[in-house]
């Protein structure tokens, strides 16, 4: 059986773990971040972290984990049929969030500063795109797209603080905003907007077992074509070249995979 696995190791005893919020473990150790990753021919995994790949190809199963990150963010926003959803950022996580939100019945718009990335999003089946030329242009497009209502859900998937502030401005009153992007910079915004618009602002961190099982099922049912996310494939022996290529072409490459 070909499988995929959950790489977010949790401690099992902190307050989050005791409440079943294992993705929010205060001692979280993600593989490839706080602990060794999977660039190896063999790794060992606890049985309960391994999920049946349902017959999907290994190269596709390798993309389930990023899809889970996006899907978890969409679940946090509780996207429902007919919700108008704006995803800020058309990188891998943003694109896959747009795909997950569309599967859940949302009317999805995706925004980016790059025309190439938006063209790619269109190829992934996201029909509505907004080129983020300036704050004014973005908000004008937001108003037009929603007949002046603004968005029910805004998902920040860029890791740029200004995009988080754009989410606050693009959300409808009582809108849901989910931050899945990660930044080291601070955001500067009028926080009273949260009160004035009665906004619901949430974070999204890692993913749960249910996200893995859900995304594997969606891919199996043909609701998402993850093969499009793979920009390049390399044999493991060419790993050094692959990372140099990624550095030099980061705007063109979404995900690259290594073959063992
Ligand atoms: Zn814990």
Q: Does the pLDDT at position 39 exceed 90?
A: no
Who contacts 24 (Cβ-Cβ below 8 Å, separation ≥6)?
16, 205, 206
If pLDDT is split at 50, 70 and 90, which confidence band does 250 have? confident
Residue 27, both tokens? 């001692």
**Gap from CA of 9 to ligand 1 centroid (Å):** 9
Give the side-chain half-sphere CA count within 13 A for 171.
Answer: 28
**Gap from CA of 163 to ligand 1 centroid (Å):** 31
Q: Give the number of other CB atoms < 10 A from CB of residue 165.
A: 17
**Gap from CA of 28 to ligand 1 centroid (Å):** 6
**Gap from CA of 75 to ligand 1 centroid (Å):** 21
User: What is the C-alpha separation between 223 and 40, in angstroms, rounded?
Assistant: 31
At 42 the three-state DSSP class reads coil
Q: Are 200 and 76 a contacting pair, CB within 8 Å?
A: no
**Gap from CA of 255 to ligand 1 centroid (Å):** 30
**Gap from CA of 173 to ligand 1 centroid (Å):** 35
The predicted model gives 173-184 an average pLDDT of: 97
Q: Where are the beta strands (DSSP E) in 119-241?
A: 128-131, 151-156, 171-179, 200-203, 230-235
**Gap from CA of 19 to ligand 1 centroid (Å):** 9
Taking each continuous run of H as one helix and of E as one strand, the counts in the chain are 10, 12
The predicted model gives 169-188 an average pLDDT of: 97
- Has domain 3-66+208-259 been given CATH number 3.30.360.10? no
Tens of pLDDT, residue by residue over 218-240, are: 999 999 999 999 999 999 999 99
**Gap from CA of 17 to ligand 1 centroid (Å):** 4
Mean pLDDT of the chain: 95
Q: Does the pLDDT at position 31 exceed 80?
A: yes
Residue 152, both tokens? 């029910």
For 76-203, CATH number? 3.40.50.720
**Gap from CA of 50 to ligand 1 centroid (Å):** 19
Q: Does the pLDDT at position 149 exceed 90?
A: yes
If pLDDT is split at 50, 70 and 90, which confidence band does 63 have? very high
**Gap from CA of 6 to ligand 1 centroid (Å):** 15
**Gap from CA of 66 to ligand 1 centroid (Å):** 22
Q: Tokens 């043909």, residue?
A: 222
**Gap from CA of 20 to ligand 1 centroid (Å):** 9
Q: Are 149 and 84 a contacting pair, CB within 8 Å?
A: yes
Q: Does the pLDDT at position 40 exceed 90?
A: no
The predicted model gives 14-28 an average pLDDT of: 97
Q: Are strands 29-30 and 50-52 parallel, antiparallel or unpaired?
A: unpaired
Q: What percent of the chain has pLDDT over 70?
A: 100
State which residues have CB under 5 angstroms from ligand 1, the bound ion: 10-11, 14, 17, 25
Task: Tell me the domain boundaries of the chain.
Answer: 3-66+208-259, 76-203
**Gap from CA of 239 to ligand 1 centroid (Å):** 33
User: What is the C-alpha separation between 36 and 58, in angstroms, rounded?
Assistant: 20
User: What is the C-alpha separation between 77 and 100, in angstroms, rounded?
Assistant: 11
């Amino acid at each position: 059986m070909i499988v995929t696995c959950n790489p977010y190791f949790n401690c099992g005893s902190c307050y989050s773990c005791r409440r079943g919020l294992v993705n929010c473990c205060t001692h979280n150790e993600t593989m490839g971040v706080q602990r060794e990753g999977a660039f190896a021919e063999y790794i060992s995994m606890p049985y309960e972290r391994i999920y049946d790949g349902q017959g999907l190809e290994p190269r596709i199963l390798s993309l389930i984990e990023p899809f889970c990150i996006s899907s978890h963010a969409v679940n946090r926003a509780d996207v429902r049929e007919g919700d108008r959803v704006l995803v800020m950022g058309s990188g891998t996580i943003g694109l896959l969030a747009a795909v997950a939100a569309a599967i859940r019945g949302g009317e999805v718009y995706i925004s980016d500063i790059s025309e190439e990335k938006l063209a790619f999003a269109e190829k992934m089946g996201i029909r509505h795109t907004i080129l983020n030329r300036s704050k004014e242009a973005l908000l004008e497009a937001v108003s037009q797209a929603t007949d002046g209502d603004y968005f029910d859900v805004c998902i920040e998937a860029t890791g740029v603080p200004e995009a988080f502030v754009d989410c606050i401005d693009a959300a409808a009153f009582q809108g849901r905003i989910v931050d899945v992007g990660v930044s080291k910079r601070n955001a500067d915004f009028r926080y009273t907007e949260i009160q004035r618009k009665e906004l619901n602002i949430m974070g999204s961190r890692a993913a749960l077992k249910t996200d893995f099982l859900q995304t594997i099922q969606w891919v199996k049912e043909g609701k998402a074509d993850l093969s499009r996310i793979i920009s390049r494939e390399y044999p493991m022996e060419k790993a050094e070249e692959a990372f140099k290529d990624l550095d030099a072409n980061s705007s063109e490459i979404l995900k690259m995979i290594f073959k063992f």
